Amino acid sequence: MEKTRLRIAVQKKGRLADDTFALLKATGLTIKENKGGLFYRIKNLPIDLLLVRDDDIPGFVFDGVADLGIVGANVYEEYALKNDNQRRAQCIQKLGFSHCNLCLALPNTEGYADLNDFNDKTIATSYPNILQTYFKKGGISASTLEMHGSVEVAPKLGIADAICDIVSSGATLEANGLQNVKTIFSSQALLLKTTKDLSTEKKDTITKLLSRFEGVRQSKETKYIMMNAPRSALPALTKLLPGAEAPTVMHLEGQKDSIAIHAVCRESVFWETMESLKTAGASSILVLPIEKMLA
């Protein structure tokens, strides 16, 4: 195993891949693509990307085939439970993208009262371990039929009474005459780390990467806000600024009683906030995105 270059397992293509590459690019990594290859080399940091199917990522990270991995919590959890929690890589960060839910769905023609309705039923799913763990907690006894792909057709084919699958917009369920009755697991992309020992070089690269991920996350939410106001309005305006530390106050040339206020707001700035600022005396309010942040 390579001693100095950090290896990160990522989904080769699919619903997690685009957002993963977008995050890595926003983190400043210059990716040298090698179409059809197993690895992409990062030019400006000692990192290689290992391109695989998402289902292989938790195992590769646990075994140390990759040092880090980016995968959906659904896939991570299913793999860990399938292996009796004996092969669970460490999850070191929730990445805040690829949000989706694992849901139980029944044919529209069926009524639904509560979870007990699933007793003695057969449920088609790609996540039998997450589902059985959930049922066990709720005291439900049901069979699972493991399927990979097109789970939603199982009730129509008469091989299952219900399904448990990833839902985002609900369009697939609707197209197949199914109704979502219960969310059993909420997922988002996770950053996994191997439990194997890593070299100092690799640890340093991970520290740098984590700080950059955090910077990307913060800069998405953080805005730079500027406005003019009468000096007397400053205390009221400061109170209204969402998540801002001490604002910068500057005098405006030729205007004795007016000031300019600049602040970094760590929470989203909504139209309502801008309207309140205006009511409190501010004018020429500008809200700007922040491209990069390093605390």
Footprint on this chain of Zn ion (rule: CB under 5 A): 54-55
Asked if residues 156 and 177 have their Cβ atoms less than 8 Å apart, the reply is yes
Q: Which is nearer to ligand ATP, 83 or 238 (CB)?
A: 83
| Window contacting ligand ATP (CB under 6 A); options: 9-17, 111-119, 136-144, 196-204 | 9-17
| Window contacting ligand ATP (CB under 6 A); options: 48-56, 134-142, 237-245, 277-285 | 48-56
Structure letter (DSSP) for residue 245: -
Q: Which of 244, 236, 255 is nearest to 287 (CA)?
A: 244
Q: Which is nearer to ligand ATP, 44 or 186 (CB)?
A: 186
Given phi > 0 = left and psi -120 to 50 = alpha, else beta, which region is 137?
alpha
**Rounded Cα gap, residues 254 and 142, in angstroms:** 77
194 binds, among Zn ion, ligand ATP, none (CB under 5 to 8 A by kind): none
Q: Which is nearer to ligand ATP, 12 or 262 (CB)?
A: 12
How many angstroms separate the Cα of 255 from the Cα of each of 230, 231, 247, 278, 279? 10, 10, 20, 19, 21
Q: Which is nearer to ligand ATP, 98 or 125 (CB)?
A: 98
72 binds, among ligand ATP, Zn ion, none (CB under 5 to 8 A by kind): ligand ATP
Q: Which is nearer to ligand ATP, 58 or 155 (CB)?
A: 58
> H or E segment at 217?
helix 200-221
Is residue 125 near ligand ATP by the rule CB under 6 A? no
Provide, rounded to whole angstroms, the least separation between the CB of residue 75 and Zn ion: 7
166-225: contacts with ligand ATP (CB under 6 A):
166, 168, 187
**Rounded Cα gap, residues 205 and 198, in angstroms:** 11
Q: Which of 16, 103, 162, 164 binds ligand ATP (CB under 6 A)?
A: 16
61-100: contacts with ligand ATP (CB under 6 A):
72, 74-75, 98, 100
Asked if residues 190 and 73 have their Cβ atoms less than 8 Å apart, the reply is yes
**CB-based contacts of 289-292 (< 8 A; 24+ apart in sequence):** 289/219, 289/223, 289/224, 290/219, 290/222, 290/223, 290/224, 290/264, 291/219, 292/215, 292/219
Is residue 50 near ligand ATP by the rule CB under 6 A? no
Q: Which of 227, 230, 232, 267 is nearest to 247 (CA)?
A: 227
Asked if residues 205 and 8 have their Cβ atoms less than 8 Å apart, the reply is no
Provide, rounded to whole angstroms, the least separation between the CB of residue 55 and ligand ATP: 5
The CB-nearest residue to ligand ATP is 72
**Residue 261: strand pairing partners:** 227, 249
Q: Which is nearer to ligand ATP, 44 or 168 (CB)?
A: 168
Is residue 244 near ligand ATP by the rule CB under 6 A? no
**Rounded Cα gap, residues 185 and 30, in angstroms:** 35
| Window contacting ligand ATP (CB under 6 A); options: 7-15, 104-112, 178-186, 280-288 | 7-15
Q: Which is nearer to Zn ion, 55 or 221 (CB)?
A: 55
**Under the rule (CB under 6 A), what is the footprint of ligand ATP?**
11, 14-16, 53-55, 72, 74-75, 98, 100, 166, 168, 187
